[in-house]
Every structure is written in C-alpha cells, then in structure tokens.
Structure 1
Amino acid sequence: MTKIDGVVRVSVLISMVFSMLFGPGSFSYTTVNAQVNRQEESPTTTPEILPTDVPTDIPTELPTNEPTLENSENPTLDPSVLPTETPIATITETPTLALTETPSALEPTEESPRVSWNLQVNLNPDQVSKLQSDDSFFQGFQALDVENSISNDQLLLSGNESIDQLRSSIFTGFGNSVDFLGGVAEVNIHLMANSGDVLSFVMESRITSGFYWEFVPNDSGGFVQESEPEFSDYSENVLETIRIRANQTGEGTVKLVYHQPFRPDDPTHLILDINLSEQIQSLDLSNPSPAVIDRAAIEKQMAEERASHPIEPLNTSINLPSSWDWRTQGVLQDIRYQGSCGSCWAFGTVGVMEAAVKIANGPSADLSEQFLVSCNQGESSCNGGYVSSAYHKDKLGQLQSEAGAVLESDMPYTATNGTCQVVSNHPYKLLDWGFLLPDPNEIPTPEQIKTAIYTHGPVTAELCVGINFNSYKSGVLSSNDLCMSNNRHMVVLVGWNDATQSWILRNSWSTYWGENGYGNIKWGTSRIGYDASWVSYGDPNVIPPAPRLLEPLQNAAFTNKTPTFSWIGNPGGGTYKIQVSRSADFSTELIEETTAAGIETYTITSPLSSDGTWFWRVRGINSNNEEGAWSAIWSFTLDTTGPDAPTLNAPENESTPVGIPTFYWAPSATATAYQFEYGTSTDGGTTIDPVLTTPDGSDPLYPALTVRNFKPVSIVFATKYYWHVRAQDSLKNWGNWSASRSFNAQVSVPISPILVNPADNSVFQSHPILSWNAVSSGVKYQVRIISPNGIIAEEPILDDGVLSYTVHTPVKNGIWKWLVRAWNSTGGVGPYSSFRTYFIDLNPPLSPTLLSPDAGKLVRSTPAFSWTEFDSTASAFQFEYGTLSEDSTPIFTSVYLSDELTTTSITPPTMTPAKYYWHVRARDAVGNWSGWSELRIIDIYPAVLVPPTLLSPATGILVNTPAQILAWTKVSDAKGYQIQFADTSTFSTSDVDTQYVTVLSTETYTIVDPIKLHDGIWYWRIRSINSRDEAGTTWSTARAFTLDTTAPAAPVLSVPADNAAGIRATPTFSWLASVGANAYQFRISDDSGFGSTFDISPDG
C-alpha cells in the first residue's frame, strides 16, 4: 500500500505551508494553478493527449504485465496487516501548527551544519488569498526565524541557520494535512567537495504514486551518480538514498528532481536552493519527526474486514481461454489519474465496480474515488488504504445513511483527503465481493486469478513497485522491484495472456504511464496478486447482458451425446434460454430449453442425433421476462467415430522375415493410440484368430500403444500369420482394423541371386530375356520388374528351378529395373538382389536438318548431299531422292534409296539430269527410325555441250543457190543444234542479216526458206543444244561460201554472123566474152524459139 501524491521537484517546505494554510480537506493541491483531474491531467506541453480520453488507436483497456506484490502501496513490515498505501491517523479537524509548543529558532549543532536556503513555491490566486488572510501561518515560520513573503503569486521562504531549521520548517511547520511530496520539485544543493568524495542525499519518496528522486547531471560533469538509488521503509513513505561522487575539487551544485518520469512535461511548482557553508558527507532532508503508524489498529481493522467477509471458493476447474482482455468487451472506463494522493486503493475499488456495472449491462457509470478517500470509516486516506468494496455493498461511509457507490459528479476527485459530505444518491450497490484467498500473505495462483477475472470481471491486486515498475513503457515487465512495507500499490487486473504468462493491468497513473495507462506484467513479478479481490454486480430489472459461455469450449470435441453446457450469466439472477443446433443460424435440428431461475447449466436429455459440428448459444431473461442479447455462438464437434484404419508399412505383405519382425504402420489422422494384433486366418486375413493382441487402454494399468511399431516377444517360425492395426483418437474412439497382411517368419532364407543377363543399362526395343544364377537352398525364384514410373509391373514366382524370364509387360519407353529373389522349401523368401536397369527406347531421333545443296539449286552434275545430326541419339542415316508428281496430291516416287549411312553426307551414283526431290532420315542405336526430313528440290541440268565439227560444204566454195546442204559431226547427248548465218565473219548480232536456225535430232540441214541469203559471202557455224534446250557456250569453227545467183550478161555472138548463109561445113561458133562469166553453154536449134535443139553443150 502506498501514498500517491502529485509531482514535486523537491521542496521540503511547501506542503507544510499549504497544510497550515488550508487545513486538511480544505486545500485541493496538484500542480501550478491546476486542480488534479483524475480522468487525466495533461502536461501543459502535450495537449494532444486529452485528459479524459484514452487514445483512439488502442482499445479502451490495454494489455498488461504482472509483478508479484505485497500490500498495494506502503505495506507494513507484515504485509498481511497493511493497507494498500499505509494509512496513518486521520486528522478530523483542521490543524494549526502541529507543534506541542510554539517553535523557536534552532541553533546549529555538529550534526546539523549551518546552511542558507531559499524556497520558492508557485501559487494560484486562491492560494495567495488564503495565505495572506492567515496570520498564524506566518507566525509559525517567524518562530522558526524563517523569512517569508508572498510576491508575484509566489511564496518565498528562506533561512540561514541549519538543516534542522529547514527540515523543521517543512515538516513540523506544515503539519500533516498537506504533504510536500505533492508535485514536481527541484532541489539545488551548492556545496564544496573534494574529487572522489561520495556524498549521500536522503529524501522521502512516494514511489507508489509514481514519484521518486533523480539526480540531474550537468554539462561540466563535476558530479556523477555513484549507484542506483536505494529504498527503505520510513513511516508511511519510502526513504530514498542517492549517492553522488565528486569528479572535481571545489565548489559545485548537485541538482535533484522529484517527479514521475513518465510525465516529463509536468510543470515545476517548487524550487529549493540550499547553500552549504562547510563540506559534508551526507545530507538528510527527511521528516525529523515521522508519523507513528498504529500497526495494531491496522491489523485489527484488516482482520475484522476479512472475518466479516468469508472467502468464497473459486471453481478453478472451468476451462479458460488462453488469453482474455476485458478491454475488448467495452466494459472499462477511461484511464484515471490519481495524482500525488496515495489513493490507488480507491481507484482499484472503483475500477472493478465500474466494470462490474457495465458487465451486468448497466450504464458506463463514472463513480467517485473521492467518496472512498474522504468518507471511509477506517484509516484509509491519501496516505494509503485498503480495498473498500464493502462501502459499495452494505457498509455505510461517514455521514451516510445509505451504502453504495457515489457518482463522480456528486463528489469529484481532488487528490486530497478532502472533507466528507452527505451524498443522497448511491445508485449502484454490489451483490457481493470477496478476496481470492483468506491469507493476505499468500498470492493466488494464476489459475485462481484468471478464474476470478473471467467469472466476475476485473479484479483488484497489489504489487511491489519501484523504479522498474515506474519506468515501464511497453512489453512484458519481468524485472522485480524490491518488496518493502511501504511500496505496495493497487492496480486492476483486466486480463491475461498464457503465451507470455502475463497479466494485463490497469494503472491509475494516467495514460502517460506504460501503454496508454495499461501494462503487461509477468506472473509472479514483484509479487503481483497480493490481496486480490473480486466484485459482483447485478440488477434483476436490467435487460440481462449476453452470457459468457464456459463449456463445452469453443471448437471442443467429445463423444458424449448428452453433453452439459455451462455459462456465466447475470449476477442479478433470472432464467436462461439455451439453443443447440446443427447450423450456425439455428435453423436445423434445433434444441431449445429454458432453465430455472439462477441455473447456469443445462444437460441435453435426448442424445444428439449425429456426429459433426453443433452450435450453441444462451441468452438471459430478467424478472420482467425481458430477453437479453444472445451470447457468442460457440461450436463443438460430436465425434463418436474412430480414426481411419492405419496403413501398414512393414513387413510387406507375404514377407518372410528372418527372426521375430518388428511391425510398423503409418500414422492415422487424429490418432493418439494404436492396437496391434496378429494370428492365423482361414479366409486369407479377412478375419483373424488372434494369437496376440496389445491392450486397448481400457485398463489404466495397461495402456494402448502410443508408438507406431510393435515387436512380439516370441513367435512360431515357418508359420503363416496375418496382422493388422487399428487407431484410437483423443476421444477414445476406436477405428476399424486395417486390411491385414501376412508374414511367415523364418529362421533363415536364401541369399540374393546374382544377375547374369542382360548387362546393366542395356537398351531394347522389345521385351528382354532376363537370367540369373541359382543360389543354395533356392527352390523357386521371383522376378520383380519395375516400370519407369516406379510401379511394380510384374512380380511372378516362377516354377521350380527356372533361371530365366521373358518380360511380358507392354513395351514402354524409359528405364526399367529388374531384380530377383529366391524362395526356400518352407516358404521363406530371401532378399532381393541388387537391381539392374535396362532401357526401352521407342523414341526415334529427331529428323535431320538438310544442309546442301540449297533448295532449288541448279547443278550440272551429281552433287554431294549433306545434313546435320540434329539429335545426338542418331547413329545412322538413310538418303533418298525421287520425283514428285504434279497432281493436286503430289506422289513421291523413289528413284534412289541409299543403304544405312554412318556419315552425314553422300554422293549418289550419277543422276540423270532432271528435277528431283530428296530427304534424309535418322536411326538411333536401338533401331528407331525418325520420320523423313522435309523434301528439298534439286534440279540436275545436263552439261553444256561442245560444238560439233563442220563437215560440208567445204569452206570457200562458190554456190549459186542458198539451198545448200550443211553437215556436221554428231555430238553426244545433243538434243539438237543451233546454226548461225552471218554475212560478216564476226557474226555481229546487231547485223540484221545474222540469222539462226535450230535443228533437232539430225546432223544435216538444207538451207530453205525462211532463210533469205543474199548473194555474196556467207559465214556459218554450229553449237550443240543439250536435253534442257541449253545451247553450248562455244561455237564450232566457222565456214564460208559464196552465193551468186545472178547470171552474167548474154554473150555477144560473133561468128557466124547473124543470118549468115551458104555455110557448107560445120561452122565454128564464137562469141565475145561476157563479164563475170567463167563458163558458157552453147545451144543450137532450127527453131528461133529454140523449141527444139539438136546440139547443146553441157551446163557444167
């Protein structure tokens, strides 16, 4: 238990001043000019976090961590008898100076060095007014020789005598009504020190409100903190010792700040400067006259409280979820801020009450913590207190005529003890409340706390707090803080997480602490769970809230066809309607019942109809017969069917193991146990007459198998047995027995045969013949053929003594394996030999790609044909050429087909000139022929022929007619000849007289029309024409003849003269020579018309 105050930077004096000034309950103190807002006091520099709102990006309530605790805030030495922030005697009247006589000036002593000091306290206008009107306040300080004044809304105090004067002024002068540990304070100590000196500073801290002292180093590094602060009990507070080491010799300043580290922006309202005139080793600023705590009274009050409220046992046998968080249920109010008042006990009490009202479908009630602080009948106050749920049930507070909670609006929180007032409206009363355990020294188990949270709602709990807890920001807190009497703090546990083994806690230190006011703390850390308590609220007239389902758990599975359902209902009583259905919309096979009032269980009376998923939900009905909301819909699975039969693994069916075998089987889905059985069978294993059956687990002394193998202790060899297995699921349902396998255990079996043929990795196109060697004691042999896909294709057991086998399985491409084993005369089978492989290759290679000649290429002679080995599996080729008909559906006719070739080229026998088509195919080593390649055309042209030799007419002859007969020699393979005539020896083609004549199949030609030859010299030559009508490129040697078709002029007759007569003898005729004539023909006639002649000379 602890006292929680506001924020102070250390001023030892200020609380005395306020105490004297306003008296107990009359002064509402927080920080400068601001009253504490328990909803959330926002630092002036961070207005973005609203005072009363939890940030919208997190749930209303957040996850927590968990320490273990003693009493919440300031426990006594005996945690069983201390309140959550140790209370002291409550002052019922406004005190004046709490001195037995008027204080006088204090003389310095050896133990109290002389100092001068100045204290500055910031005041609001109301405080200034009250101080100025209270003469006794200033008289008290005058008696202590303390100078005092008020200026610019600041109270200024100063003294120059001793530390005792300072301590007396602050603690004795102020009295007990206002604690100076009420806000952020700053202390500056100016002193002399030697390098290496370690100085101790002792102050009081209210660590249970989140406040403690911290050393603030300066830039010069003249002082450094020697070690972590040390804490010890001191009256109702904690004594904090800070050790500082001097790094330099000379004057320096030690600065200490009193604050809540998670609220760094809270303003400083008090600054104390101390000037020491001499060197010191330690400085004590604690209360010289601390309050005396009446431990006996506290013990008595707590014992009476527990005695008047018996502990109700918790049903920890219920099945709880692995995590729970009441924030997600929308039942928690915004995070509160208790300020510097040690009222965590009030915030815990109110926190669980507000949640209980909301859980019971009530409104979001904002209840008053101040009512508990100011109006309790015991010792609880801002100095600490206890769980006070009794005031929310049936215990009257001061001045009250009715028990029950009070609204915040009727008694707002002030963070002070305040003054009790009569409140007429107590709208909410608990049905019940209680502690989890009777012994406050004992911490409940996690299951007990979880059960209370789940069945009742958030619970109060205490823990020990210190720097670890105060500086927590996020995650799961697992670092312990030291437990003392005065550092117990009360929080509200709102959930848990089994995965991290942590509690979700709700603190009252504002949203600036932890994760927006919430935290996660490991189970047992800092003794979290002290004095845990629960509350129960219900209103029979309120429409009931949706029940919370307990059992069967969501997604539970069981075999019971008449299950019992349970739930957490409305504490206010009433009846419940339960529905169970096969469908989530409750439209199928609906079972609906209404329980008696207050009964929160129901058992199915008629067995559920079938296995499968069922759904259930519950709703409450109040005394006015008003139905509340349905609960969540949960489902369960009715399963009365066992798992599938396991698949047997080993030994294989019909195996003959040597020795006693170990039996193995595959896991069966959902199986948790198995049963094995073997025996004989007369029907091939359909039914087994058991020789051995393992236990079925019905007797706890003989559990079922939980492993997937079993080996009998003994067995009869050379006997055929059958075995099978069945599986059991987690619900104890047995499934069916598996299909059985047979085995015949042997003392010994033959060795593996040695394979002979074919050799390993042989290749075949058809069924190979397999052979092996015989083995000793082998009577018959079994061959196993394994197909390329790994399936056993054949496994024949051959006749006795057979040592070869022809494979029968249809031929299929791929790698095949074969192996052999031997059987002995007692049915024992030896191990298979090592396997050999053979290849069945039915895949032809790819067709070759043709290279040359190019398609359509013209060649003069038989070419060399070549192609590429497109497929590396090709080992031989075949070449073919032929003709292709010119029909609409061309038909290839082979002219030449080569033998198998091992090269990728061929020059076939001489090809007759023609147009051909050629292609190639490939064969692999196994004999698979590819398809023919594409057809490629090739045109074989005949050779260009030599010219013939001219025979006649002879060159240079003179002819008188163009009808000359030309002749020449025959040229082999010539289809014909081309004759060229020209009247020039150059045979100019531009000369119009150059003419051509083509003749076929003859070696002569008679010049006829349409050749027109003029008279003169004509040249002629001939070239050959081949079978493709190609004329040769060379002509024969030219010959010439002269054509003269014009006769010379008629000769002029000379003798005898014309009409000569009287000629008696045969005359000699003569005539004159005719130009161009080289011969003459003479004719004589007795007819002038030369109709007849009697003498004519030859015409040559």
Structure 2
Amino acid sequence: IYYWRVRHRDNHDAWSDWSDETSFTTASQPPTTPTNQSPVDGATGVSLTPVLEASSFSDPDPGDAHSASQWRISTDSGGYSSPVLDVTVDTGDLTRYSVPEGTLGYSTTYYWQVRYQDDHNTWSDWSDETSFTTLNRPPLQPFNVSPWNGETGVSLTPTLVSTEFIDPDAGDLHVASQWQVTLTRDDYGYPVYDSGIAYAARTSVTLPAGRLTFATKYYWHVRHRDNHGNWSPWSEETAFTTLSQAPDQPDNLSPADGVAQVSLAPTLQSSPFSDADEGDSHAVTHWELTSSQGDYSAPLFDAVVQSGEGADLTSVAVPSGELDYRTTYYWRVRYQDSYGTWSEWSEETSFTTVPDSSPPVTPVVDDYGEDTASASELQARWTSSDPESGIAEYMYAIGTSPGETDVVDWTSAGTDTEVACTGLTLTSGTTYYFAVKARNAHGVWSEVGVSDGIMVMDGQPQDDGGQATDGGGDQEEEPDDEATTGLGDCACLPVTQALSGTSLLLGWVVFGLSWWTGYGVVRRMGRRKRGTSTSAGGHLGDTAG
C-alpha cells in the first residue's frame, strides 16, 4: 500500500498546500497454477460422486491467502463453453470438491480443471486438464420369485429364488449376490440370515437349518453384483410364513383293529385333534380305505372333509355300495391344521364285514316242454340271481319225483344256466324232474328249484292209421336195448357243448351251427320213420331216421 500527496507552484514561486493524502495498493502476483491430483489422469471406474482434489495453494506474494477455488467439468476435452459443472467455492477445504449426485453419468469420460484465487482477488491460471471415466452401470434391480409374496407353509430350509441377472452394459457378468432375511419389515440391521457376498448362490440360495422357526413370518430381499463390482438396487421386499408343526398323528378308534361282523356302511372314527403349535385348529381330515393291506394307490374309499358348519372331522360314514360281504378292509386317516400342515397317517388298522347271509333267488327251471320221445336224453335251463355277491355255482339233479336225485345225483354245472344230459336210460310213461340250486359267492345255497316235469312218451311213433309201421309193412319192431328202465351210461353237458356244430353224441347228428337257431337235430330211434324237428327256443325232439 502506498500513500501520496501533491502541491502546485505558481510563477511567483508560491506553493500551494499539500493535497489530502490518499493511498493505493499495487496489484499482487497471481497464485501459483494448481495441479489436478485426484482422480489421476485417465482413471477409470470412478464413482458418480467423486472427490476432485488439487495441489495446495501457493502464492509468490508473501502473506497472500487462498480465498476461493473454481472447478469445472466437461465432456468435451478443452471445451468448457457448456460445462457439466462450473462452480466457485469460497468456504471449507478449497483444494477438494465433492461432485454432487446426479451430475455425472455412468460409463462416461470427463475432463476437468481448477484455479485458485488469492485474497487480493487475483486468479491463478487454470490447471492443466486431466480426465477420468466413471464406472459402468449397475445391474438392474432383481425381483423375488420364490417363495412368492405372502406364501404360507414354507419349510424351515427354503430355497430363495430371484429373477435372472440383467445388466444394461453389454458383456457384464453376474459374479455375486447378497441375500438377507429378517423378522422385521424393512429392518435388516440384525437379519436372521445374511449370505454376505455369495459367489456361488447367485440366483438361488437354500437357507441352512436352524435359522428359521415354525409358524413365523419373515421378510427378504436380494441384490446382484456385476464383474465391475457394481451392486444392483435391493429387490422389493417380500414376505413368507413358515409351516407350522405338524398335528399329532391321529389314532384309528372304530371299528377296532381286527374286528369282524362290521356292517357294509360303517362309520370310521378317529382320535381328537391335537397340535403342538398353540392356536392351531383342525381344518381338514383325509380318510382312505382299501382292500389290499398297505396299498392305497387306488383306495376303494377316499374322502376329504373340510371344517365348516356342522362338519365332523373325526368320523365319517362309508356310503352303502362301497364295501362287500365277508371282506377284510384296511383304513387310515390324517389331519391338516389351519396352516395347511398335514399330520402323519394313522397306523393302519383293519376290520372284516359281515357275511352275506341272504341266499340267492330260488332258481326257476324249464325242462323244455311237457313230454319227449327220447328215452336217453333230457335237457333243462334255469335262471337265478344274487344281487349282493353274485352266483358262484349251480348244481342240478334229475329224479322221478320233484326234488329226487334217483336218476342223476347232484352235479355241478359251474356257472352255466343250461345242461343237456345224454346216455340216460329212461322209462316210457314216466315223468322226470330237474332240480337246481344256486350258491352265492359267500357259500350260501338257495332253495331247490324244480321243473314242472317232462314225460317220456312211447318210443313208437304212429302212422296215419294209428299203427306202427316199418316203411311199407305192419311188422312190430323190438324195442331198443336202451329203452330199459333205469340210469344207463349217461353224460350231461352244457347245451353249448352238447350241441356244437361238429358234435356226435350217442347217435345224435346236429345239422346247423347252434341249438338256439332252430336247425334240425336227428337221432335214430329203432326203425321209426317220422318225428318232429326242434324250433327256435324249443326242446330237443326226435325225428324219423
């Protein structure tokens, strides 16, 4: 600072007074040009909020102080007419500047300079320009996939699954993820599980045992990291609830294990519901019944009963028509609680149903007419039924009075409903009766059904004049040996076998393919010349040889 004054002299050598003193200060020297120090020139992977640092202030004028700094950033090297940032700072640390968030973009090269001002308002020259490149863009925010938001009944060791890694920068790789699970919504200060930087578990992770507890609600989120070390935002938080402890295994109460004489429509009863989780309630019961011990792949009775008004979850009635007589059945039951957790199946028990005590319907027997000219053959057909267990066997007999067995003793016909007996020795003028009885699948026999009888007529058919003939004479023929009274060497077969299209049974020749189609059947009876043919549905008749 300099002070000065002035006075004037006229031509008479007279001086004026001195002017009032004033002062002035000479210009200071500018501060030394600063240098860019950080980020270093050409640095890459720089954050979007870097701290710019320059060298310390210095000034050739002793005592000059640092009063301000001006910072500027551009995307155009050497061009600062439209800078990204141009700011003057006169407080704080004037050799450092933190770039505000939102100023810089990802994967971009920036150029920057700084200059200093001293306390005489003199600016230094701009620093030499240097550059840096910001880091690349982070991966996109992932989403929680499984368990889905609000899912219940989740295991205590669930597998958390996120969406696949997506990054806006081509070629970036997914190298790690971080998973966190907490008990408190939006609070991950003390998570129950934190994977840390998980290099292997990138899009799924299975929680280890011991971290979660039954019937508890948990919240979780995940984030992805790329090969540049950039983290995505955390996923939106979702929640799940772990499963409750399973209800206690129920017991089969009724019918008691091994009991017999159970009705065909029993009521199954099980023990009361109990659960270790306080507050759990009985929601569903599942019943299964089978006829094969331990095999429930195709149960005969399969019922799921849900709770509701009037619902009985510890007993169920097996509908009529599902079970059979005298059969052993096996059954089991399980319970589900209000969290959807099933108990173990009860221990299998068994019961046996009542036998079928009702007999089959008494057979109705038809012996194909009132009389027959054959002295060696009889046939019959019959009908019966048993709606409970079905017919397992028929037996028939032939006698000379209803129900007698003096011609053919009781003989099994299997399940056939007709029979033809050949080789019999029948007496002319005698009436013969078929007797039939039926047995159901449970061994109960029906009453004996008897035909109305069929009489064996005289074996000599008459001519038009009422005389026996032998073609053109009046000679009588001796009866055949087979006309002798009594049981001869007979054979009884089902009609379908006895009258097959190729059979030749004791002199009978069958013309045609089936008994029931009305084709003629011929048997040689002595020297008879005239007889009758069968009709559709008729009985086996005789005809002239």
Tell me which structure has the larger Cα radius of gyration.
Answer: 1
- TM-score by structure 1 length? 0.20
Higher RCO structure, 1 or 2 (CA under 8 Å, sep 6+): 1
Relative to total residues, which structure has the larger helix share, 1 or 2?
1
Relative to total residues, which structure has the larger strand share, 1 or 2?
2
- TM-score by structure 2 length? 0.36
